[in-house]
Amino acid sequence: MRRLLITLFLILMSSSVLAQSVDCAAVAQKAVESARKACVDMENNQACYGNPKVEIQPRDNVRLAFAKAGDVAPIASLKSISTVAFDDNNWGLALLNVRADLVNGNVTAVSFGKVLLENGSEASNDFVALEITVTEPKGANLRAEPNPDAAIVRAVYSGDRLQAIGRLEDGTWIRIAEGWLSKDLIKSTADLSQLQVLDSTSKIADVYAPMQTISLHTGLEDSPCAGAPDSGLLLQTPVNMSTSMIINGASLNFTGTLLLQTTADGKTVMSMLEGELFYADGYRLKPAQRVEYGFQGDKIIYGNPAEYDYANARYLPLVLMPREFELPFSLGGVIFPFTPGTGFLQTFAADSPCVAAWTADVNLRGGPGTNYPIRRGITGGFYGNPDARAIGSDGAVWWRLVDGVWIAADSTFTAGDCGTLPLVAPPPLSSG
């Protein structure tokens, strides 16, 4: 009887917390559904007004009708497109189909929250891209200019399939996104005379399709409540297709789904959700990893890969992407390090959000009880911010750090307002 009364008390105390979370999630869901209905049957190189508020800046002497959900505009006609941050009533969402260097299909882009996307390509229309295959048995060097003595950009290998986007007038050298290859080193079933004629001084921004070169600025850590993600830009390629883009000055080649955000000090944060990304002369970003980069003078400096923010990624508007996939598991954004013995928990006020910390090794599990599978074993010296709790199969209290990640309350020390966390039912126990 006593346990029943305590449970009822906890449910009543947590009702306001639940209402705020549900309301926030409802606003996000409504905005996503509105954008999905508004932006159907988009064509290549088009931008669509998904959900208020979205604004565009057309190129000089261009007039476009782009003021309500469902309006579309050719991205070649845009200098920039921006969306507004999430609030209690709106969430700016814009969808773009970017042809990039793909022979078939397009890169799907979803701008959500506070985002400014500037078109860095001067291309006024689309261009022809044709597939070529490296035939030289020993491989070849991609050159910065159409000259056998020019600087080497990177190596390519026999059998590599690349997208040609231009040629010299006499056809002796073929241009791909990153540089030039001699015609003698490749083959193609396509008619390469269809490629755009370029000269050795052509800038990549002149060659790239609209929005294939972009400047990006976003909010970060700006979600006002649970149920909505921080602002950002999602990019997704068709299945098993790679593309090259220049984003905030960096040349990136990726396959799959990529999340892009920027920091207050001007760094770009790339999070790989599925697929892979190559950057900085062959460095590879794998799923569940993120990396930051920024300029030091005129040189791009890349940080070391780290776990991506799984906690925030769960709220991304992924349903607006054409392909479904499962987010890779990570503890990024779920747990954080601290130094035991420094009075860490004493820094939190009684009404602060709940903090659960541990100083000994623990097992994080998929549900509240030792009968749930271990998600990961973690050493002491970490903390998390529980969003709910449950009575486990062992009759003890367990904290939920995020959906699918639980820790036994008796393994932790707490601070803040943990008493009003919602009491939830344990998730189903997988039979597998």
Domain contains 423? no
Own/partner pairs for 204-208, CB < 8 Å, 24+ apart? 204/177, 204/246, 205/120, 205/121, 205/122, 205/246, 206/121, 206/122, 206/123, 207/123, 207/127, 207/165, 207/166, 207/175, 207/177, 208/100, 208/101, 208/121, 208/123, 208/165, 208/177, 208/245, 208/246
CA dist list (Å): 364 to 141, 358, 415 = 48, 12, 19
> Same domain, yes or no, for 103 and 242?
yes
Q: What is the pLDDT of residue 19?
A: 43
Pair (245, 316) in one structural domain: yes
* Closest to 234 measured CA to CA, from 329, 147, 331, 113: 113
Nearby residues of 428 by Cβ (< 8 Å), 6 or more positions away: none
Neighbours of 229 (CB within 10 A): 24
29 and 96 inside one domain: yes
Q: Provide the CB-side half-sphere exposure for 247 (13 A, CA).
A: 31
Q: What is the pLDDT along the chain (432 residues), one digit of tens a residue?
A: 333 333 333 333 343 444 445 577 888 899 999 999 999 989 989 999 999 999 999 998 889 999 999 999 999 899 999 999 988 678 999 999 998 877 778 999 999 999 999 999 877 666 677 889 999 999 999 999 999 999 998 999 999 988 888 899 999 999 987 889 999 999 999 899 988 888 888 766 556 678 989 999 999 888 887 778 999 999 999 998 888 899 999 999 999 999 999 999 999 999 999 999 999 877 999 999 999 999 999 999 999 999 999 999 999 999 999 999 999 999 999 999 999 999 999 999 999 999 999 999 999 999 999 999 999 999 999 999 999 999 998 899 999 999 999 999 999 999 999 999 999 999 998 765
* Structural domain for 363, as ranges: 335-415
Residues 58 and 91 in one domain: yes
Q: Are residues 9 and 113 in the same domain?
A: yes
User: What CATH code is carried by the domain that includes residue 22?
Assistant: 2.60.120.1440
In a domain, 226, yes or no: yes
Residue 78 lies in a domain: yes
Name the domain count of the chain. Answer: 3
pLDDT of residue 12: 36
Kindly state whether residues 84 and 101 are assigned to the same domain: yes
Closest CA relative to residue 198, chosen from 162, 160, 161, 172: 172
* CATH code of the domain covering residue 408: 2.30.30
Residue 287 has phi, psi (to 5 degrees) of: -55, 145
Gap between the Cα atoms of 383 and 361, Å rounded: 12
228 and 135 in a common domain: no
280: DSSP letter: T
